[in-house]
Structure 1
């Protein structure tokens, strides 16, 4: 009887201690992937349909990398300067140079929905941080026929400051250019 009692006591203590143990942390970059998914969702929610949000709200330094944020600020400065030039001209009702349509998507009209196909995260060697490429399948059901395409959103996390959009590579089948940075540089330099 004593051996059964000892066995049951041992079994009870083992069960009790196993319940107190901390479960293993999940493997992989689930926290990074969650943060990246949130940034992609914010990108398309704020800027997916139109570039109007760039003109009506402050450009978020938490959403865009420092380099891309600077390019967006320069593009807005080009528009403001052109608006001032036109206001003082003989034709004050002319339309100024502006970013139009969805600048974060291959399709001018922008997406009505999207889904993330893959997230690739790589540690950077320059100088610290990480970079990620997110392949996003987008669709626009408000055009006929329905348009579907895949863009790649490139993000950086320099010095663990949080993930930020650094560029967007457009679909070669639909895109009017190769990527967002090239578009902005062309707009700023006056080369459409």
Structure 2
């Protein structure tokens, strides 16, 4: 499953077949295709799915179909490549903990966010940047930060291309998710 299969594909019938099958009266025009979901809504929906799955580390093979609905092909491929490298590490180092097996990869904080909201975005024809306010914990002990989700419009659907980590504390994920996956 990928985000592209979520899009309804309109089939244009052959003009001659359409004319022969058309009733004498004009048929109502088809409803316009729905507008692409906003980048902000796509990110919030993704984080909701990610939180519900409760994944730590790389998503497992069973979870990837859910992730693929939100990820650009390049990021989904990078996750699959990291999973292959993780399995190779496990095979060659059976007594060691493999890389990327723990912690939230989609945010700066190891534990991941408890709550999140879009803080603003910039959008052009095919790219979007969505700043997310994220929080883990309650009260004075809560950790708050802002990460940035990078999206592309792919076949009419916003998909997540990368995550820029914004956490400033020691041991926060740094740089971009795509860089982390290449390690």
Could you state the TM-score of these two structures normalised by the residue count of structure 2?
Answer: 0.68
Bigger fraction of residues in helix:
1
After superposition, where does 1:1-192 map in structure 2 within 5 Å? Answer: 31-32=35-36, 34-48=37-51, 50-52=55-57, 54-55=59-60, 57-59=62-64, 60-86=67-93, 92-123=94-125, 130-141=126-137, 145-160=141-156, 162-174=157-169, 175-186=172-183
Offset of residue 144 of structure 1: 6.5
Distance 1:149 1:50 in 2: 20
Deviations 1:18-69, CA, capped at 9 Å, x for gaps? xxxxxxxxxxxx944x442342123212335543570252423321111111
Question: May I ask how many residue pairs the two structures share in their alignment?
Answer: 144
CA distance 1:143–1:85, change in 2 (3 Å): farther
| Structure 2 alignment gaps of length 5 or more | 1-33
Offset of residue 83 of structure 1: 1.9
| Contact 1:47 1:102 survives alignment (8 Å) | no
| Contact 2:151 2:160 survives alignment (8 Å) | yes
Using the TM superposition, name which of 130-139 and 96-105 deviates more: 96-105
Distance 1:102 1:136 in 2: 15
Could you state the TM-score of these two structures normalised by the residue count of structure 1?
Answer: 0.65
Deviations 1:110-163, CA, capped at 9 Å, x for gaps? 10001111122112xxxxxx1111111000016962100111111101342x11
Higher relative contact order (CA 8 A, sep 6+): 2
Quick check: which has more Rg, 1 or 2?
Answer: 1
C-alpha RMSD of the superposition: 2.5
